[in-house]
Amino acid sequence: MIFPFSEPMGDLWQYLASTEKTVVMYGMGNGADKILAVCEKFGIEVADFFASDGFVRGHSFHGKRVLSYTEVKEKYGAENLIVLLSFASSLPDVLALFDRVASECELYAPDVPVCGENLFDLAFYRAHREELSAVYSLLADEESRRIFECVLRYKLSGSISELRAVESTKDETYTLLTAQNIRTAADLGAYNGDTVRELKNYAPELSEVWAFEPDRRSFRKLSEFAETVESPKIHTIHAAAWSEDTTLSFADTGNRNAGAFALGKQIEVEAKSLDGVLGGTRVDYIKYDVEGAEREAILGSEETIRKHHPRLLVSIYHRSEDLFALPLLFHEKFPEYRLYLRRTPYVPAWDLNLICL
């Protein structure tokens, strides 16, 4: 199959470096810091920072007073602005707000990696075009290929319209996984139990779950949830999912993005392979959402996958290379599987999942 993605002429960073418009940033925090670092690398000046109307409390960011959306439009004129979105959301009302800003100003959501240093810019695309083409050829249905194309265009352009054009529902994802037949599962990156709770809603026959969570505060919430549930039986494992049993440095953030590759105060945590924990026990389904450690977690599941052929859902958005490296790794190890892509509504391109059947 021929890869249909035409050779791009440039990327968002090249465009921002050459524009005469005023570049402002919508949002603050770690995401803004990452985008600012890339802007500095390419000589792009960010004139101001703003927050949604009603959320400005007189605070400052990088030495500038944070403006309201109304203030930034009055100061520069909406027609003269380029807005860089620097925070993530999947909430419908927030996504609608993004769409509103995009209808009034030129808005982009720069793609910066959650983990790792590789930026998905034009040079990165050209260096990995063959791998990307190989993944495109492996995808099992037209919707997966459409998602792949739009995500590629988004990563280079920063255009949220590319993401809004390829949004899957949870129902669609779990239908593809034939969740009604799942009885046993492993949740790698179980957070506070929210994804076990979600799976339970789609898998009425679910009877047993092995739930990994390394963050101490999230694990406490997961354990409290497990104690309130009679079925399924939830085995809570206070460890990171990894390729072997070891000890890792881990960012003790207490939120969903806590992980071995996240920024923040580092502590030591236990890491375990799923194969070692299960010891040959069958699971019908494995979910991998381990904040950039998906490769290691897959390698730690090889025996289970080969023996039981479970359905798999793998996050492939934490690192820039995940889009091609994880599907190619999986195909190399388990060529009998069919590969699909689905993504639930999120800006930027988070919740992009590889489904392996």
Residue 3 has pLDDT above 70, yes or no: no
**Helical packing angle, 322-333 and 142-157, nearest 10°:** 150
Contact 53, 72 (CB under 8 A): no
Give the pLDDT of residue 255: 53
Q: Do domains 12-110 and 170-315 have the same CATH topology?
A: yes
Q: In this predicted structure, what is the pLDDT of residue 296?
A: 97
The rounded mean pLDDT for the chain is 93
Sign for the CA dihedral angle at 184, 282, 135, 31 comes to: positive
Domain ranges of the chain: 12-110, 170-315
Identify which has the larger pLDDT, 253 or 323. 323
With beta carbons less than 8 A apart as the criterion, state whether 110 and 11 touch: no
Preceding omega of 92 cis (within 30 degrees of 0)? no
pLDDT in tens, 127-139: 999 999 999 999 9
pLDDT recorded at residue 297:
98
- Kindly report the pTM of this predicted structure: 0.92
Domain at 12-110: CATH code: 3.40.50.20
Residues 6+ away with beta carbon under 8 Å from 346: 88, 89, 90, 163
Query: Could you tell me which CATH number the domain at 170-315 has?
Result: 3.40.50.150
Q: How far is CA 146 from CA 131, 139, 197, 215, in A?
A: 17, 10, 30, 36
Q: What is the per-residue pLDDT for 2? A: 45
36/322 Cα distance (integer angstroms): 23
